[in-house]
Amino acid sequence: MPDIDKEADESASRLRITEIFYSLQGESRTSGYATVFIRLTGCPLRCEYCDTTYAFKGGEWVLLNDILSEVKKYDTKYITVTGGEPLAQKKCITLLKNLCDEGYDVSLETSGALDISKVDKRVSRVMDLKTPASKEEDKNRYENIEFLTPHDQLKFVICDRNDYEWAVAKINEYDLLSRCEVLFSTSHQQLKPQTLADWILEDQLAVRFQMQLHKYLWNDEPGR
Ligand code: SF4
């Protein structure tokens, strides 16, 4: 028999949402594809270079079913759940599962500071390791690394040469290239993309260099 109380509880579940918008994915494996972004409100971190501080507070409570209805207005299979730090809200796990059940290609952008082990395996987790210049290095939850698979992506936002060398050391220490795709991007306006590209080539590193496409197209405008 169905558990009616549980079903009622699930249908009443809601998340605090800063924005839901349709744009081009600016980074990661699906860069360039039209994508619906669901930005959850709140983050326990305070990275020096954060470009979404407007998502720290505010937002609106939205029922999970209403989030799904909003997403379905757009003709794309790509959904990215982002923040803030989406996993700071427990019901995010349910949202991710529901989106996968609907057949979407779902990615999750997460800081790496919270447990990723409960995330639906169909989701591609795009997890940060916070570098020294982020000033949030001590929040890295290294236990997460063992859960990463080739379906996931590990991202380093590099601010300077020290960050770069730190990231290379972490790649070697945790044998990251054998676990999942590793992404290197620059902190916008802190390090020239060309400089990072040159370092990667000099060291013949098998990481994926990426530019944040949306910042070049729309100059980091919220909702784009
Ligand atoms: S984890 Fe992301 S949202 Fe949170 S402070 Fe850092 S960059 Fe900003």
Ligand 1 midpoint to CA 43 (Å): 6
> Quick one: DSSP state of residue 144?
G
Query: Which residue type sits at 120?
Result: D
Poorest-pLDDT segment among 9-13, 88-92, 148-152, 215-219? 9-13
Residue of minimum CA distance from atom 3 in ligand 1 = 84
- What are residue 78's phi and psi, to 5 degrees? -95, 125
Q: Is the pLDDT of residue 7 over 80?
A: no
Poorest-pLDDT segment among 70-74, 148-152, 210-214? 210-214
- pLDDT value of residue 167: 98
Helix axes 64-71, 4-11, angle to 10 degrees: 60
CA 75 to the chain's CA centroid: 22
CB 128 within 8 A of CB 110: yes
Helix axes 161-173, 193-202, angle to 10 degrees: 40
Q: CB of 46 closer than 6 A to ligand 1?
A: yes
Nearest to 94 by CA among 16, 13, 38, 151: 13
Ligand 1 midpoint to CA 136 (Å): 9
Residue of minimum CA distance from atom 5 in ligand 1 = 46
Angle subtended at Cα 215 by Cα 68 and Cα 149, rounded to the nearest 5 degrees: 60
Q: Is the pLDDT of residue 117 over 60?
A: yes
Enumerate helices (H) and strands (E) in the chain, giving the number of each.
6, 9
- Rounded to an integer, what distance in angstroms lies between the CA atom of residue 155 and that of residue 163? 12
- Rounded to an integer, what distance in angstroms lies between the CA atom of residue 187 and that of residue 76? 29
pLDDT confidence tier of residue 223, bands split at 50, 70 and 90: confident
Q: Is the pLDDT of residue 187 over 80?
A: yes
Q: CB of 112 closer than 6 A to ligand 1?
A: no
Q: Is the pLDDT of residue 4 over 60?
A: no
* Atom nearest to 43 CA in ligand 1: 4
Ligand 1 midpoint to CA 215 (Å): 16
Work out the average pLDDT over 102-114: 98
Which of 27, 39, 45 has the most ligand 1 atoms within 8 A of CB, as the residue to mutate?
Answer: 45
* Atom nearest to 46 CA in ligand 1: 5
Ligand 1 midpoint to CA 17 (Å): 15
Instruction: Dig out the tokens for 43 from the structure.
Output: 């983050």
Instruction: Dig out the tokens for 56 from the structure.
Output: 């720290």
pLDDT confidence tier of residue 10, bands split at 50, 70 and 90: low
Enter the pTM of the model.
0.93
Instruction: Dig out the tokens for 177 from the structure.
Output: 């290239």
- pLDDT value of residue 216: 81
* Atom nearest to 49 CA in ligand 1: 7
- pLDDT value of residue 212: 81
Residue of minimum CA distance from atom 8 in ligand 1 = 50
Which of 51, 54, 82, 111 has the most ligand 1 atoms within 8 A of CB, as the residue to mutate?
Answer: 111
Work out the average pLDDT over 90-116: 98
pLDDT confidence tier of residue 218, bands split at 50, 70 and 90: confident
Instruction: Dig out the tokens for 211 from the structure.
Output: 């530019």
CB 185 within 8 A of CB 163: no
The burial of 55, by beta-carbon neighbours within 10 Å (0-12 exposed, 13-18 middle, 19 or more buried), is given as buried
CB 17 within 8 A of CB 38: yes
Dihedral of CA atoms 125, 154, 198, 162 in degrees, nearest 10, equals 140
